[in-house]
Homo-oligomer: A and B are copies of this chain.
Amino acid sequence: MRTEGRLTNQLRPVKIMLNTNKYAEGSVWIEMGDTKVLCTATVEDRVPPFMKGQGKGWINAEYSMLPRATQTRNQRESARGKLTGRTMEIQRLIGRALRSIVDLQALGERTITIDCDVIQADGGTRTTSITGAFVAMALAIHKLSQNVQFARYPIRDYLASVSVGVIQEKVLLDLNYEEDSKAKVDMNVVMTGSGKFVEVQGTGEDAPFSRNELNALLEYAEAGIQSLIVHQKETLGEIGKRIGAV
């Protein structure tokens, strides 16, 4: 049995609060159960050196956990003097996922940096970050659209992410920390509003998995992500209207 009687295919309670930071061009405080992430979007009128002169924009993400976001305190990466492999992997994933639904040409020579800072961690911090980062980016681009005349609206589709896993032969949606540490198979999926896959990352370090299990995991993930996208749409309301519009 899951905590608070949650069903195998049920998400934890989701909260998405908009504009929680007074300086950022877009900001979101997102909670999935006890996992809490602050996502801020910063817009700058320049692109990184490797993108210069292409007339295209760039989306970049950074991810970090506060030292006591977790059950025991983690050393700060600033004190260690370098990022862990886990952090690098996650921030590369978030950036890649966001870029998949952005029309960089339409955005023009601008960089949007999304910072995902995990205030409290209870499983699914990378997937929650993606779901929140999308909304923070949407707010920033909407704000930008009030001053800039875009040829096409730069956001092509909605985007959200969720984790799924296998515990004792059962597929579960949206694992919390305790479940995650018991899961034999662990998968993170990112999908668009139109139901396509952007990232599928499944790992069976503790036990390789069959094609049937893979199929079941993908179905749970797909349903969970579509629920999250409904939530994003409701929260953004009017602001989200131009997303994916032709």
A interface with B by C-beta (< 8 Å):
21-24, 27, 34, 38, 40, 42, 44, 62, 64, 66-73, 76-89, 91-92, 96, 99-101, 113, 115, 117, 119-120, 122, 157, 187, 191-192, 194-211, 214, 218
Contacts and interface: CB of A to CB of B under 8 A. Distances in A.
A165 to B, nearest CB: 14
Contacts of A208: 100-101, 157, 191-192, 194, 196-198
Nearest to A44: B73
A76 B85 CA distance: 16
A70 B21 CA distance: 10
Contacts of A83: 78-79, 85
Given A22-B122, A67-B113, A196-B208, 6 more contacts: A40-B66, A82-B82, A88-B88, A197-B211, A198-B203, A214-B218
Nearest to A77: B78
Contacts of A115: 66-68, 73
B203 A96 contact: yes
A211 B117 CA distance: 32
Given A24-B68, A203-B96, A76 B73 contact: no
Given A23-B120, A210-B196, A210-B197, A40 B64 contact: no
A88 B79 CA distance: 10
A76 B100 contact: no
B96 A76 contact: no
